[in-house]
Amino acid sequence: MKKHISAALLITCFTVSSYAQQQATDIWLLDVIQKEGKTEVLNPYRVTDNDHYDNQPSFSRDGKFLYWAAMPDTTQSDLYEFDIRKKVKRQITNTPESEYQPQPIPYDKGKLSYVRVEMEKAQKLYQISVDGSNEDYLMPNEDSVAYYCWINDTTVGAYMLNGAGGTLHQFDMVPQQSIILMQGGFGRCLSKIPGTNFFTYVVYGKEKNSLMKYDMATEERMPIADLPEGVEDYCWGPDGKIYVGKDGKLLVCQPKEEELAEWNIVADLSETIGTFYRLSISASGDKIAVVTYKGKKP
């Protein structure tokens, strides 16, 4: 039996149409340079310049394309693609349902995974070819997917809308089964640590949020870093650095064994692009995409 998600909960998790009318977000692209042990970001380029929701960016596996979800009509969202070299945008989906969170599928460079909010409000994980064809379910029996990340070719970490505050799952495609890792008290941003089978998630705290690492093999969980105050979105670079945005500044840290990482400001972008929160970095680490907003953070 399919579960039905309340309108209030759907707004909280996905920034759907009524919220999009209140606050617009845009996507910027910047070059990342590692020089003499220091990180620099240059050449900010505005990918979107709209008064609506453009959000949830991710790079193709080869770093040539950027994907995101956009809601141009404040009714439902579709998936879009940006050719970074040619500076050309292309719409991938055009459906009566809403699609969110496009991510490259690790085992097939020609496909994306995404969450679709179906007409009866079930939220399921799908796959689609980048040309917009061959849509199909990835998790046909799970209808409450809010956020997710790929850990390996057959496993995702998933934020499921089950119970108060949701549940954090390790979901195995083969067989189609999941392990519940946590009930409530965690954030929307889930990510694999590059080059590992570990994934990370944010645990909410009274004063600061903590970034936690989960080892699927040993089921061990350990803190990596305390995030800057008010931050819950982050991304991992291929060199093992963690990037976050706060007050228009890009911060980075390099986790170390047996001690919490410290944060350093690598760029003040408050005057060039403004304040930003969600981030995505290319697999080669040479480009980073950030989502800007005005006013209170979404």
Residue 73 has what pLDDT?
Answer: 79
Q: Peptide bond before 106: cis, by omega within 30 degrees of 0?
A: no
**E strand or H helix that includes residue 226:** strand 220-226
d(Cα 25, Cα 55) in Å, to the nearest integer? 6
CB 108 within 8 Å of CB 60: no
Residue 145 has what pLDDT?
Answer: 97
User: What size, in residues, is the chain?
Assistant: 298
Residue 35 has what pLDDT?
Answer: 87
Domains annotated on the chain, with CATH: 26-293 (2.120.10.30)
Residue percentage of the chain with pLDDT more than 90:
81
Q: What single-letter DSSP state applies at residue 64?
A: S
Residue 257, amino acid: E
pLDDT digit string, tens, across residues 70-118: 998 778 999 999 999 999 999 999 999 999 999 999 999 999 999 999 9
Structure tokens at 37: 């042990």
Q: What single-letter DSSP state applies at residue 294?
A: S
Given its phi and psi angles, is residue 54 left (phi above 0), alpha (psi -120 to 50 degrees) or beta? beta
- The tens place of each residue's pLDDT in the chain, 298 residues long, gives 333 333 333 333 443 433 344 489 999 999 999 988 889 999 999 999 999 999 999 999 999 999 999 998 778 999 999 999 999 999 999 999 999 999 999 999 999 999 999 999 899 999 999 999 999 999 999 999 999 999 999 999 999 998 788 999 999 999 999 999 999 999 999 999 999 989 999 999 988 899 999 999 999 999 999 999 999 999 999 999 999 999 999 999 999 876 777 899 999 999 999 999 999 999 999 999 999 999 889 8
